[in-house]
Amino acid sequence: MKPKSLVLASASPRRVEYLREIGVPFRTEVSGADEIDEPDSGLKPDWVALENARRKANAVSEKHPEQWILGADTVVWRDGTFYAKPVDFEDAKRMLRELSDGWHFVITGVCLQPPNGATPRLFHDETRVLFKSLSESQIESYLNRIHPFDKAGAYAIQEGREEIIVEIKGSFSNVVGLPIEKLTQELETAI
């Protein structure tokens, strides 16, 4: 049965905003799940994003088995390196330095967990992002304007993208943290 409402296993303001836009009734609950924070470079980025999304959805589903649960996780990946949320300002600068002047991938994994332990619907989206060649002063200026510590890769595409990004190939909402186009399709076909 198509979900009439769901529980978002996240407090991300960006995911909350997207769910409001598509008009699905929901509430939020932080999962507290044990996520893969520092993935081994040999792991595939789509697997990491899906596994973290599944863990988040499962943790909330255990508390609310009668509800539809939505878990999501976004990873930033370039040349075998994962870029998680930065631990401090220096870490954020390092990330933007390494992402500068090249393409990277943003992968968001989504787990839509139906009620009562039914088989979850797992899917992901992948977007390629090309960064400008950034100087140290451009990096510091950008980071001083945003709050990088809750963002994989230390940047927000919706904030000052003209300062750091040349081009994106794929879903914009995926880079923000929820592939809304794919999610909408999944919600329409959920049974």
The backbone torsions φ and ψ at residue 23, rounded to the nearest 5 degrees and listed phi first, read 75, 25
Domains in the chain and their CATH numbers?
6-189 (3.90.950.10)
Active site residue 73: yes
Of 34, 73, 91, 101, the active-site residue reads: 73
- What the block records as the tokens of 177 is 């943290």
pLDDT tens string, the chain, 191 residues long: the values are 467 789 999 989 999 999 999 988 999 999 999 888 888 878 899 999 999 999 999 999 999 999 999 999 999 999 999 999 999 999 999 999 999 999 999 999 999 999 998 999 999 999 999 999 999 999 999 999 998 998 999 999 988 899 999 999 999 999 999 999 999 999 888 75
- Residues with Cβ within 8 Å of 171's Cβ and at least 6 positions away in sequence, in order, are 125, 127, 179, 180, 181, 182
What is d(CA 104, CA 101) in angstroms, rounded to the nearest whole number?
10
Instruction: Tell me the three state secondary structure of residue 19.
Output: helix
Map tokens 């401090």 to a residue.
88
pTM of model > 0.75: yes
Instruction: Tell me the three state secondary structure of residue 110.
Output: strand
User: What's the confidence (pLDDT) of residue 2?
Assistant: 62
